[in-house]
Structure 1
């Protein structure tokens, strides 16, 4: 019985390791795509998303939570994505 439990633990560990590796790989690919998209946007002369001006104003006023809420509502982001979006706008300033 102990061998079965040990085998299950090892199998679960290997599955978790495999999933972690795939997620890490996908995160790297997403960062690469974001970089490419940013470069294409600069080269094509497309304007920045209009909501960014309002979000920067909220950030400047210290209203980060309101900025995250507005980003989520406007852009359809999850809570984590909204926070990351606002954090990136903060870094740009």
Structure 2
């Protein structure tokens, strides 16, 4: 009986992981679309980006990630990816 529960839990985890991966892909697509719309409409860049780029140039990537997270409400992974895109 315990093995059946473990197998069911494992299958649920695999299913949820697949769903999360699919959602992450959709989010990346939406982000790409937003970036294209922003460029097309010549919308100004987020003002925090200049401060973040300055921190990056000073070799303070960890501080840049922290500042991005605080100001933009990002998770740690999202903050790191945001800073990587600004490089």
**So what's the TM-score if we normalise by structure 2?**
0.90
Aligned partner of residue 84 in structure 2, secondary structure = helix
Of 33, 37, 54, 2:30 maps to 33
Determine the structure 2 residue equivalent to 1:46: 43
Task: Work out the number of aligned pairs and report it.
Answer: 87
Of 15, 23, 33, 1:18 maps to 15
Gaps of 5+ in 2: none
1:1-93 superposed matches below 5 A: 4-90=1-87
The alignment yields a C-alpha RMSD, in angstroms, of: 1.2
Gaps of 5+ in 1: none
Task: Quote the Cα distance in structure 2 between the aligned partners of 1:25 and 1:79.
Answer: 20
Show structure 1 runs of 4+ deviating over 4 A. Answer: none
